[in-house]
Structure 1
Amino acid sequence: MKKVIEKKVYNTETATLIAEYWNGLGEDDFMYCEEYLYRTRKGSYFLRGSGGPLTKYSESNENQTWGISTIIPISKEEAYEWLEANDKTEAIEEYFSNDIDEA
């Protein structure tokens, strides 16, 4: 998937996949959600997300709501928070080793 946002190209085929999340539901479920965290060659982070009509990955008009797939640019701090929230310890250690300390 490729999308231009604020004059920057975000491309899942050329970026590095860092981690992924899936809530375990099938694509036909209204609460289905999956997210993939990527890092571009220039160091920007983004999520490629997909979801059903009852998730943040949805669009609607006056009569209907449907699921979508999209790309969302995020900051380095948001990428770290996403990894921590989704228990992606190995990815944190690999991509944010300079930002964490031993307890």
Structure 2
Amino acid sequence: MRKVIEKKVYDTETAILIAEYWNGLGQGDFRYYEESLYKTRKCGYFLYGSGGPLTKYSESNGNQTWGISTIIPLSKEEAYEWLENNGETEAIEEYFSNDIDEA
């Protein structure tokens, strides 16, 4: 997917895939969603997300709701937080090694 947001191009084909999350539900389930965290060549971060009509990846028009796919730009801090919340320790150590310390 390729999308321009605030004069910046986000492209899943050219960005580096850092980590992925899937909630384990099938695509036919209205609660299904998946997210992929990417890093651009210019060190920007974004999520590519898709999901069913009962997730944050949905749109409505009157009495109809459907699932969508979209790109969400993230700050470096938001990308780190997403990795931490999803238990992606190896990705944190690889992409954020300068931001973490030994306890």
Q: Which TM-score band applies after superposition, normalised by the shorter structure? A: over 0.9
Matching residue of 2:74: 74
Structure 2: state its 5+ residue gaps: none
Matching residue of 2:88: 88
**After TM superposition, where is structure 1 displaced by more than 6 Å over at least 4 residues in a row?**
none
CA distance in 1, matches of 2:26, 2:3: 25
Matching residue of 1:16: 16
CA distance in 2, matches of 1:66, 1:84: 29
Q: Is the counterpart of residue 65 in structure 1 residue 65 in structure 2?
A: yes
Note the aligned Cα RMSD (angstroms).
Answer: 0.4
Matched residue count: 103
CA distance in 2, matches of 1:102, 1:82: 20
Q: Normalized against structure 2, the TM-score is what?
A: 0.99
1:43 shift after superposition: 0.3
1:63 shift after superposition: 1.2
Structure 1: state its 5+ residue gaps: none
Q: Normalized against structure 1, the TM-score is what?
A: 0.99
CA distance in 1, matches of 2:52, 2:101: 38
| Secondary structure class of the residue paired with 1:4 | strand
Q: How does 1:35-50 map to 2 (within 5 A)?
A: 35-50=35-50
| Secondary structure class of the residue paired with 2:70 | strand
CA distance in 1, matches of 2:31, 2:101: 36
